[in-house]
């Protein structure tokens, strides 16, 4: 980021009244959201287009963002769903053979309001100590409008997140050597996840989140995916009821992220909101019945907290805080993961879980 072109003033104000002064990049205007942070060092374009950030203002802890530019291939969804973006520095002269533009142009194109040149270490420390909180980025004078902005901050709440990011209509993606037909309930899935299924001979039909169990059953799929996505899982009451029916079909089910939480709720579990969540590409996850520890990519603010009375086993836990990272149900063909088994710009050592899902669908193994 060139010092001779800092840009216009911008402000980040937190719900507790603290104000950070910086400079604007991306779109101008005012954006409200829940402030969260990601520890990933790469994959900023993938993060910007991850639907799981819907309604949130994302802070990157890595100090320099944008140094390899952006391109048309690395989108995880059609457009960003997050509310705003916070970085220490952005690079206006990216260098990479795949580069097709810079991050500032990308954010302007998609209407993402950003702020740079603030102390992101201080902001991250505040979130870690106090928990995720609401915030607002604005290119207007925050001191003149502080009372109005504070009132709106107090009222802000992420609602109808899945409805906002789910597919609007059914669409099928055909594998080159398709052997299996997979129905994916789209709560905010990523392209890299879908591509892993396609590469394993799975034709993937992406379905709107409100697709009923009867409609899914009529497709006669070999397997069902409950995708990742944003928001409070407990607010999706109709979807949870629908998933309960789907889980009773005796069809192999693979859930990740929000899908992991929704499946647990459908089975009678409880979820809790975390203090600041797990977001980044370096979360350690341990096998409960093995010796391996995986480095995983994650993006969630809720966690499955109570599985009492449910016929299942916790297959993975977070090595940092002991929270549930994986569940295998004993009486139905279903396993779910809290982390991303594959994310572009992140670790790749958990992609074998896609193979586990394919094995479940293999009729010779049934």
In this prediction, residue 365 has a pLDDT band, given cuts at 50, 70 and 90, of very low
Residues 19 and 108 in one domain: yes
* Secondary structure class of 147 (helix, strand, coil): helix
Cβ partners under 8 Å of residue 324, min gap 6: 303, 304, 305, 307, 314, 316, 317, 318, 338
* Domain C-terminal end among 158, 193, 214: 158
In a domain, 178, yes or no: yes
62 lies in the same domain as 31: yes
Range with the lowest mean pLDDT among 173-187, 232-246, 258-272, 339-353?
A: 339-353
Asked if pLDDT for residue 272 goes beyond 70, the answer is yes
72-127: per-residue pLDDT in tens?
A: 999 999 999 999 999 999 999 999 999 999 999 999 999 999 999 999 999 999 99
132 and 173 both lie in a single domain: no
pLDDT in tens, 277-313: 999 989 999 999 988 999 999 999 999 999 999 999 9
Tell me, yes or no, whether 288 and 208 share the same domain: yes
Q: Is the pLDDT assigned to residue 344 strictly greater than 90?
A: no
Supply the pLDDT for residue 52. 97
Q: Which of 50-54, 183-187, 259-263, 349-353 has the lowest mean pLDDT?
A: 349-353
Residue 329 φ/ψ, nearest 5 degrees = -90, 140
Do 124 and 219 lie in one domain? The reply is no
Residue range 24-39, pLDDT digits in tens: 999 999 999 999 999 9
127 and 171 both lie in a single domain: no
Residue 346 has pLDDT above 80, yes or no: no
Indicate whether 4 belongs to any domain.
no
**Residue 1 located in a structural domain:** no
- Residue 294, pLDDT score: 94
Q: Residue 139: which domain range? A: 9-158
Domain ends where: 158, 177, 209? 158
Tell me how crowded residue 3 is: count the other CB atoms within 10 A of its CB: 6
Residue 3 falls inside a structural domain: no
Please give the angle made by the CA atoms of 302, 341 and 223, to the nearest 5 degrees.
95
**Predicted pLDDT of residue 3:** 42
Closest CA to 346 of 190, 231, 142, 117: 190
- Quote the pLDDT of residue 7: 74
3-class SS of residue 87: coil
CA torsion angle 164 183 252 264 (round to 10):
10
- Residue 23 resides in a domain: yes
Same domain, 123 and 219: no
Let me know whether 124 and 267 are in one domain: no
pLDDT above 80 (res 189): yes
pLDDT at 357 over 60: yes
Tell me: do 340 and 249 sit in the same domain.
Answer: yes
Residue 20 counted as domain residue: yes
Provide the CATH number for the domain around residue 348.
Answer: 3.40.50.880
Total-model pTM: 0.95
* Same domain (yes/no): 259, 299: yes
Quick one: 177 and 150 in the same domain?
A: no
In the predicted model, is pLDDT for residue 153 greater than 80?
yes
Residue 126: closest CA among 3, 239, 13:
13
Q: Hey, what are 17's tokens? A: 């009244």
Residue 196 inside a domain? The answer is yes
The reply to whether 271 falls in a domain is: yes
User: How many independent structural domains does the chain possess?
Assistant: 2
Residue 318's SS3 state is strand
Q: Give dist(CA 45, CA 75) in Å, integer.
A: 7
Let me know whether 183 and 147 are in one domain.
no
Instruction: Report the CATH number at residue 38.
Output: 3.50.30.20
- Model pLDDT, residue 5: 56
Q: Strand 113-116 to strand 19-26: parallel, antiparallel, or no bridges (unpaired)?
A: antiparallel
Domain edge (last residue) among 106, 128, 158: 158
- The per-residue pLDDT for 291 is 87
């Amino acid at each position: 980021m060139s010092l001779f072109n800092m840009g216009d003033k911008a402000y980040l104000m937190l719900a507790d009244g603290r104000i950070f002064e910086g400079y604007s990049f991306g779109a101008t205007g005012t954006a409200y959201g829940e402030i969260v942070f990601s520890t990933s060092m790469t994959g900023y374009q993938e993060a910007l287009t991850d639907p799981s950030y819907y309604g949130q203002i994302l802070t990157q802890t890595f100090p320099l963002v944008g140094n390899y530019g952006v391109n048309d291939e690395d989108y995880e969804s059609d457009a960003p769903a997050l509310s705003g973006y916070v970085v220490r520095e952005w690079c206006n002269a990216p260098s990479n053979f795949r580069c097709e533009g810079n991050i500032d142009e990308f954010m302007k194109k998609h209407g993402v309001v950003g702020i740079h040149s603030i102390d992101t270490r201080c902001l991250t420390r505040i979130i870690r100590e106090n928990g995720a909180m609401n915030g607002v980025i604005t290119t207007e004078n925050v001191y003149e409008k502080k009372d109005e902005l504070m009132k709106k901050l107090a009222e802000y709440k992420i609602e109808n997140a899945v409805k906002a990011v789910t597919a609007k209509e059914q669409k099928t993606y055909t594998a080159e050597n398709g052997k299996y037909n997979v129905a994916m309930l789209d709560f905010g899935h990523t392209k890299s996840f879908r591509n892993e299924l396609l590469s394993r001979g799975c034709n993937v039909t992406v379905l709107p989140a409100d697709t009923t169990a009867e409609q899914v059953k009529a497709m006669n799929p070999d397997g069902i995916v409950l995708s990742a996505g944003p928001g409070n899982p407990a607010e999706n009451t109709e979807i949870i009821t629908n998933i309960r029916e789907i889980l009773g079909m005796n069809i192999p089910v693979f859930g990740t992220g929000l899908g992991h939480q929704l499946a647990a709720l459908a089975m009678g579990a409880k979820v809790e909101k975390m203090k600041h969540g797990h977001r980044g590409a370096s979360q350690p996850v341990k096998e409960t019945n093995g010796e391996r520890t995986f480095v995983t990519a994650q993006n969630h603010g809720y966690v499955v907290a109570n599985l009492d009375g449910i016929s299942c086993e916790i297959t993975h836990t977070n090595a940092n805080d002991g929270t549930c990272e994986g569940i295998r149900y004993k009486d139905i063909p279903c396993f779910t993961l809290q982390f991303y088994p594959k994310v572009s710009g992140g670790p790749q050592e958990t992609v074998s879980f896609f193979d586990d899902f394919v094995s479940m669908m293999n009729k010779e193994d049934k």
